[in-house]
Structure 1
Amino acid sequence: MKESKFDEKTFRVHIGIVVSIIFCFFIFGLAIYCYWKGKVDDVNGYNSIDSSIAFIALGINILTVIFVYATYQTQRDTIKMQRKQIEDDKKDGDFNRVMDIIYRQLEHTLVRYSAIPDVKLTSEYGVTSIKVMYDNCFKTINFKNINELAELNNFGRFVSYLDVLRFLTEEFKVYYNVINSNNNLSDTDKQFFTTLFANNIEPTLIKKIDMFQQLYFVIKKSDSYKELILDSQNKMMFQNLEFDLTVVLYSLKINKIENLDLG
């Protein structure tokens, strides 16, 4: 509606300018005619009327060319505006569609996140939910206790790390595909949606996953880790943990620590 009013206003302005210039040419041509009419008689070979008409016709032809060009420019600008509006509408539609899918998926994710499983997940917490394991393991990580947690004196805690990361890996597949398969979303939009679903699962999720990779960096340099991976089952567990941590870091767009080897 606003665009139509703009085009109508622009057209009226152009028409007004053209009419004004034609009127000026007419007055100017009439002035020439009156001037030469008083100086030279038509019978002496100079026809002031024909000359004035030719002059006015020349001016009108020039104005016609200018008007056609101005009209062409206006139409081209209008087409550009319409194309941009269509693209913006498509982007808005895709943005809203992705948001709707994310919120629908979050309903399922949060149920599974807080649900008590039918089987025992860890030796430390017994039958419990992923949320409880996250609260007891990830939420407690901070810069002050990283070295203490890296001692690996509580092996069940690392099984819980694996359970949480495995859950996130499975859940994040859906969100990642929905967000990154849409070419109409900007990088800013994708970052927004990534933060949106992460914060709805756990407000501290991005921060604590980032801190966990720092903890794991310290763990891998410890003697306890080197001893544990001598056992094939422990080694496989840590390999699975590294795989899931890689997927989660990538899905949350968290930069991996430069010297952290995740296999």
Structure 2
Amino acid sequence: MNKNKKSWYYDDVIILALVFIVLMIVYAVGVSVFIAKADDKAIGAFEVVTGISGLVLSLGTVFYVIQAYKAQREQIRIQNIQIEFQQREIEQNNKDVQFNRSVDIIYRQVSLSKDKLKATKEDFIKYCSNIISVNRLFKSYDAILRFLVLLDYENEFYKKLLSNMLLEDNEKEYLFKIHTSNLSYEYKQIVNRTISIIRKYPNIYELYEEYLYKEYDQRLMQNTLVSDYHMEENDEKKKEIIIREYGDEMKSVLHNFKLLMEAAKNIDTTFHKFNVWIK
């Protein structure tokens, strides 16, 4: 359709230009011959006709200029449409290339992720398969920590990869789900339960700290070398002795538990970002 319009304008402009040039040549030749042969009276009449002819020619010139302007404007419009189409085509080609490249990278990374996660699976399944309460989480936190930190690291890789891609959100979701769909059922259950427990207990860090004090209390009760602990009845004083005996270890354990909480929250945020629901 655009092609026909372009052809129509250009054909008309060329024809008008040729007609105009021919008329001017004929007009100039005719005037020269007439003036050479006519008397004064005929020349006067001819001047009137010439004036009218000049007006007609002027109108023809104006019409020609308008047509030329329209043709140029139409050409610019068509060029802009073609440029826009080419840009869209280039963008789509880039998207297709990026999408295919992302699929290839993700499948390679999924293979590597499986190998990494396998290294944690034995302890993970052994200690974490029955996490249904906050106390069970506390007892098994070390194995869960290794898995969640690794999963959070893997998630960050996919998230950064996809954030640099010129893809639609639904395409990014699809690609990210290639990664999560390769998690085993056991892993998914533990992630779901851990996140649910952390959501349920906003003060879970303080609860874990109290849990540790009880654990160290039992140790000291069995340790006959720390005599002052057995004689102490004040709870605050007992905590001071626990810190004295196990302070560095306790700090390290609490630090690791914070890492577990952060990893779980990061995983939860990332899964929501990519519309992933663990069941």
Q: Shared topology, TM-score over 0.5?
A: yes
**Pair 1:84-2:88 in alignment:** yes
Q: Residues 15 and 224 from structure 1, CA distance in 2 versus in 1: closer, same or farther, beyond 3 angstroms? A: closer
Q: Residues 13 and 205 from structure 1, CA distance in 2 versus in 1: closer, same or farther, beyond 3 angstroms? A: farther
Q: Residues 104 and 210 from structure 1, CA distance in 2 versus in 1: closer, same or farther, beyond 3 angstroms? A: same
- Give, in whole Å, the separation in 2 of the partners of 1:204 and 1:20: 77
Q: Is the 8 A contact 2:145 2:260 kept in 1?
A: yes
Q: Is the 8 A contact 2:145 2:259 kept in 1?
A: yes
- Give, in whole Å, the separation in 1 of the partners of 2:53 and 2:63: 15
Structure 1 residue 105 displacement after superposition: 0.8
Tell me the equivalent position of 2:267. 248
Choose the corresponding residue for 2:149, options 166, 170, 173. 166
Tell me the equivalent position of 2:232. none
The structure having more radius of gyration, on CA atoms, is: 2
Which of 1 and 2 has higher RCO (CA within 8 Å, sep 6+)? Answer: 2
Tell me the equivalent position of 2:257. 238
Structure 1 residue 208 displacement after superposition: 6.2
Q: TM-score, normalised by structure 1?
A: 0.63
**Pair 1:43-2:46 in alignment:** yes
Choose the corresponding residue for 2:174, options 188, 192, 195. 192
Structure 1 residue 61 displacement after superposition: 1.5
Structure 1 residue 188 displacement after superposition: 3.7
SS in 2 for 1:200: coil
Deviations 1:200-220 (Å, cap 9, x if unpaired)? 224797786355322123345
- Give, in whole Å, the separation in 1 of the partners of 2:170 and 2:90: 20
Structure 1 residue 65 displacement after superposition: 0.8
- Give, in whole Å, the separation in 1 of the partners of 2:142 and 2:172: 31
- Give, in whole Å, the separation in 2 of the partners of 1:188 and 1:205: 25
Structure 1 residue 162 displacement after superposition: 1.9
Q: Is the 8 A contact 1:18 1:63 kept in 2?
A: no
Q: Is the 8 A contact 2:95 2:166 kept in 1?
A: yes
Q: Which has the higher helix share?
A: 2
Q: TM-score, normalised by structure 2?
A: 0.60
Structure 1 residue 71 displacement after superposition: 0.6
List aligned pairs for 1:32-111, cutoff 5 A.
43=46, 45-47=48-50, 49-111=53-115
User: More displaced, 41-50 or 76-85?
Assistant: 41-50
Tell me the equivalent position of 2:122. 128
Query: What percent of counterpart residues are identical?
Result: 17
Choose the corresponding residue for 1:14, options 6, 14, 18. 6
**Pair 1:201-2:193 in alignment:** no
User: What RMSD in Å do the two structures reach over aligned CA positions?
Assistant: 3.9
